[in-house]
Structure 1
Amino acid sequence: MNSSSASISFTAYGSLHRYKAALLVCISVLYVSCLCVNLLLVLVIWLDSGLHRPMYVLLVHLCLSGVAGSSSVCPHVIRHLLADRPQSSLAGCLTQVFFINVYSGCMFCILALMAYDRYVSICKPLLYRSIMTPAWVRLLLLLVYLSLGSSSAVQVVLISRLRLCRHTVDKLTCDSLAVAQLSCESSPVVSVFGLCTAVWMVLCPCVLVLGSYLHILLVLLRSSRASQVRGLQTCTPHLVTFINFSSASFFGVIYNRLSDRVPEAGLVLTYVNFFIVPPLLHPIIYGIKMQEIRQSVKKMMKRKIIQM
């Protein structure tokens, strides 16, 4: 078994020395902006009791997952940009792997639950309150967190049992594939479990999203023009969010497989595109597109101005 005090060096930062100052400012600004917009939206939903409904509860968890994902990477990147020799302990690296896996799975699973919520709302409006009860939503979220947390923990334990022959990673952060490739020999168990976990975290939610929107589309085609407009208005933010994160995930997978051939600019863009852009854009998209959130923000601003 590996010692948790073993060090992992990140060689990718050596090729970025010319851009370190610019990257440090850019990533810091984007990360702080990501924290602010997500926590602001969470605060708005928490303070407005009229928004304590399933769709907005799921949106809160989407925002918190985005904050957790960006926080698992950005502070480490900032610290490594400031260091002369970017290093991390094996324990720290495996902790980062755990949170990155949970972040990826949570985003897909919560987006799938939001698609299911839209499906029930549009296709079964009379049964919506009896199906999407607060208790049922809490149970679904609990199952998501427990299953993703346990599967990620098992993957981390399996990787931690590998004997490492190398201690350098040509990436900006740790991920399960990068750490597994440092081992002295290949491990079929780690590979198979990682593949099964990826299928469960990505393929199943995507099938649920596509199935939900196929049913929604069929219902809207048979509905009136006004109903079609309302349906599109409620579904557009979620569709944009899902496409945005799916695209970021796709390019992230391509980068993981071809990281040795990706130029330094692509290296940075891939990380920013996966860990910062989705969490930053999602609350902005919902804040702009969803009328109830806009109205809630306006009411809070008016109340604040009156109190002043």
Structure 2
Amino acid sequence: MITNNPATMDNTSQITSFVLSGLNVMKYQQVALFSLTLISYCSVVVVNVAVIVTIIFDKNMHEPMYILLCSFCMNGLYGTTGFYPKILWDLLSAVHVISYSGCFVQAFVIHSFVCSDLSILAVMSYDRYVAICRPLVYHSVMSKKRLLMLVSFSWFTPFCISAVNMILASRLKLCSSYIARLYCINWIIVKLSCFPADTTVNNIVANITIIFFLFHFFFIVWTYVYVIKTCVNCSENRAKFMQTCVPHLISLLIFIVTIMFDVLNLRFGSNLSPTIQNVIALELLIIPPIMNPLVYGFKLTKIRIRILSFITCQIK
């Protein structure tokens, strides 16, 4: 509970850890949940690593579309690494705590993971726009130098934005160490600040962040409006759209649905049961990282054939 007691405010620097209260399960359920969580994490690692390794070692896939997909899968591994090891440890522990610095690191990883996902999706949509709408200049526009700049943008910018949000949150005096969630996020940390803490700068930067990434979303919509217009009257472009753009749109839909549920859960989820709140909170860290490589792996012929041939060779 946040208190206005000045004595409490003076002692805020003594907060060295946070209690994660989202995990409320009976002891006999812990083993089953631990097993399911471990299987889920192993599945995320296997499917993402399979796509990454396939793209890295197959020189025929050293093209912008596949390199961006490789970056996409790497980001999935990065984001889940910020969550799964901690939750697996908590499922085996009687007390669910996280250190002060560990909480901020976890919040930074998850925040930057989500932002990078949308940035990479925006770059991928630009790549498909150039490939379908401007095929004659595709190789000159999506040169190695341009590709390196775009990949760097999709990682570096979200990292910087997330770092600024975390630094601003770290300067606040906190009057509670109770986090009603399975993992740390910046929004909840800011909510723990002592009243009347000045969170104006935090709110301004948070709103700028939201607006900045909303522009990413609108850019994706804009590119696909042109892509669909180009594909309507051309069977060759329609085939290319179905092969390379549909997986991207599915990934975008998965991302939007999971992030929308998570935001609604943060804003209005107080009336829901803790179990439902936990399920909604976990969707963002479970569904996209495991579904994205599966969608691309099944839909993109080169990746599917390469992985199936590797599996067949191992069986023989």
Q: Secondary structure at the match of 2:24?
A: helix
Q: Secondary structure at the match of 1:85?
A: coil
Aligned to 2:191: 181
Query: Runs of 4+ in structure 1 displaced over 4 angstroms?
Result: 1-5, 15-18, 301-305
Aligned to 1:232: 242
Q: Is the 8 A contact 1:97 1:175 kept in 2?
A: yes
Instruction: Choose which of 201, 222, 235 in structure 1 pairs with 2:233.
Output: 222
Aligned to 2:202: 190
Q: Distance in 2 between matches of 1:7 and 1:104?
A: 24
1:20 aligns with 2:30: yes
1:279 aligns with 2:301: no
Q: Is the 8 A contact 2:37 2:88 kept in 1?
A: yes
Q: Distance in 2 between matches of 1:18 and 1:251?
A: 29
What are the equivalent positions in structure 2 for 1:133-148 lying under 5 Å apart? 133-148=143-158
Q: Is the 8 A contact 1:33 1:280 kept in 2?
A: yes
Shift of 1:21: 2.8
Unaligned runs of 5+ in 1: none
Shift of 1:155: 1.0
Q: Secondary structure at the match of 1:217?
A: helix
Shift of 1:298: 3.9
1:242 aligns with 2:252: yes
Unaligned runs of 5+ in 2: 1-9
Instruction: Choose which of 275, 278, 293 in structure 1 pairs with 2:303.
Output: 293
Identity across matched positions, percent = 27
Shift of 1:13: 1.9
Q: Distance in 1 between matches of 2:264 and 2:149?
A: 34
What are the equivalent positions in structure 2 for 1:154-169 lying under 5 Å apart? 154-169=164-179
Q: Secondary structure at the match of 2:19?
A: strand
Q: Is the 8 A contact 1:10 1:173 kept in 2?
A: yes
Note the aligned Cα RMSD (angstroms): 1.9
Aligned to 1:6: 16
Aligned to 2:39: 29
Relative distance call for 1:4 and 1:69 in structure 2 (3 A) is farther
Shift of 1:147: 1.6
Instruction: Choose which of 217, 241, 262 in structure 2 pairs with 1:206.
Output: 217
Q: Is the 8 A contact 1:102 1:149 kept in 2?
A: yes
Q: Distance in 1 between matches of 2:87 and 2:282?
A: 11
Q: Distance in 2 between matches of 1:177 and 1:4?
A: 21
TM-score scaled to structure 2, two decimals? Answer: 0.90
